[in-house]
């Protein structure tokens, strides 16, 4: 848990400590982007890439049901 008004990469679980994610979190939001949603989208993209687009394996690695992953992929335009 963060004790500050800003969530810093160090506040996230170590499994989310991805170099690219860290650098993206340090960039100011553009055009009203929600930084939490942007981080979630990026994490999903990275996980899908890691498993070469295999949604079942990506969902398992993300700790979510395949239907939840599918819904989030649609939400973020990743389908």
Q: What is the mean pLDDT of each run of 10 residues along the chain (79 residues)?
A: 74 68 53 78 95 96 95 91
Q: Please list, in sequence order, all residues whose beta carbon lies within 8 angstroms of the beta carbon of residue 22, skipping any fewer than 6 positions away.
A: 9
pTM of the model: 0.59
Taking alpha carbons only, the member of 8, 56, 16 closest to residue 40 is: 16
Q: What is the pLDDT of residue 50?
A: 96
pLDDT at 69: 96
Q: What pLDDT was estimated at residue 31?
A: 45
- CA–centroid distance for 76 within its chain: 11
The three-state secondary structure class of 44 is: helix
C-alpha 26/C-alpha 64 separation (Å) is 26
Show the tokens assigned to 21: 């994610």
């Amino acid at each position: 848990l963060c004790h500050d008004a800003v969530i810093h990469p160090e506040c996230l679980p170590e499994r989310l400590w991805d170099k690219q994610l860290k650098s993206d979190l340090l960039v100011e939001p553009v055009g009203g982007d929600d930084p939490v949603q942007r981080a979630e989208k990026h994490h999903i993209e990275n996980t899908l890439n890691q498993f070469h687009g295999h949604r079942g394996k990506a969902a398992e690695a993300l700790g979510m049901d395949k239907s939840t992953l599918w819904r989030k992929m649609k939400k973020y335009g990743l389908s």
